[in-house]
Each structure stands twice: as C-alpha cells, then as structure tokens.
Amino acid sequence: MASKLLRAVILGPPGSGKGTVCQRIAQNFGLQHLSSGHFLRENIKANTEVGDMAKQYIEKGLLVPDHVITRLMLLELENRRGEHWLLDGFPRTLVQAEALDRICDLDLVITLNIPFETLKDRLSRRWIHPPSGRVYNLDFNPPHVHGTDDVTGEPLVQQEDDKPEAVAARLRQYKDVAKPVIELYKSRGVLHQFSGTETNKIWPYVYTLFSNKITPVQSKEAY
C-alpha cells in the first residue's frame, strides 16, 4: 500500500448522513475528520481573527463568505500536512474548490445522493445542541433523555432551516452550489457517487473504496 498521504473530501446535502459516514471513515482508516463547522465553532469560541470575521456574518443570519471559510480551512490544513485527512463541509463552492486545488491534489471525493423525501424526513427528526454542534436524530440516534443533550444535559433545539417548509429551499440551494464542484471532480476522475436511503447500506461500498487506497486500522468494518 502506498505511503502517500490520503487527501479526501465528502460532499452531501444536509441530512445525507455525511457526519456518520465521516466518523466511520475516521475510525476505520485513521483519517483526521476535518469539519468546517467544527473549526468555525472553535475559532469563534477562541475569538481568533478569522473567527471574529465569521461571527459577524453568522450573527446577521448570513452565510460565511468564501474568502473567510477558505482562509480558515487552509490554515487548518497547513497544520496537518503530515496527516491523512477527510474534509467535510469544505469545499462547498467552486471558488473554495479552486483554492483547495492550489495547495493539494485530492485522491478521493465521495458524494452522497439521497432521495429528497428521505432527506426531508431525516431533517424534520433532527435536533441539535448548538454550543457543541452535536446532532441527534429521533429515529436512529435519539438523546438518552428526550429534548436534552447527553453530555451537558442542556436543551436541544430544532433549527429553523430543519423545519419541513425550509428544507426544500435549503436542498435546492445545496444542489445549485454543489453542482459545479461535483462536475469539477467528475472531470478529474476522482469523484465516487453513492446513492441510497440508508447509511448502513451505503457504508460497505464506501469502506471498500477507501480500503483500495489506504490500509484499514481496524480489520473489521466498525459501525
């Protein structure tokens, strides 16, 4: 197996099970799971320069612009030059993908294609703990105590954009923005698409794909 460091990206709309797939890849293959949402929260909490810039947009209910997210993520990647990694939530746009291109060549990009109805159902059952970013699903990952976070006991909330009426607009927006990114990676020959309604059924195919690129750290497919 090649000793080259693996550079991978996962793409998928809200509710596609991206977080679960990322955790499994990290666990099975020893990749660092690099989530743009996590780094945003950390930087905002630490009052870094880039965190303060992002906070100004978030407080106004605006999307954090490309140049802020790109700067944040490229700084994080700079610190992880010697590690295998999996990017989650970045790049979201063509501008971000082109910036990433300038610093590295990706080996694998996986995209999760989940039917609209499945996404709508999953998102409507999703509750989050905003301070930590922990996500619960009432069907397959419920909190121990209804309505409260397992770790802190603080209340969970349902995001406005997880409510059914907002989901359709959110998914449309994702499709519009993601399409050129998906096309770019398709043209490079690094894109792998996985379709289905259940993460557990998609996972074995993802596992096989990564096994061909990097030796698993666990001999079994950990769930």
CA distance 174 to 188: 21
Cβ atoms of residues 71 and 95 within 8 Å? no
Query: Which residue ranges are tagged as binding site for AMP?
Result: 36, 41, 62-64, 89-92, 96, 170
Helix or strand run (H / E) with residue 205? helix 199-211
Residue of 101, 81, 117, 95 lying closest to 9 (CA atoms): 101
The per-residue b/e assignment along 191-214, b for 16 or more CB within 10 angstroms, e otherwise, is beebebeebeebbeebbeebeeeb
Helix, strand or coil for residue 127?
Answer: strand
Binding residues: 15-20, 36, 41, 62-64, 89-92, 96, 126, 135-136, 170, 199
Residue numbers belonging to the annotated binding site for a ribonucleoside 5'-triphosphate: 15-20, 126, 135-136, 199
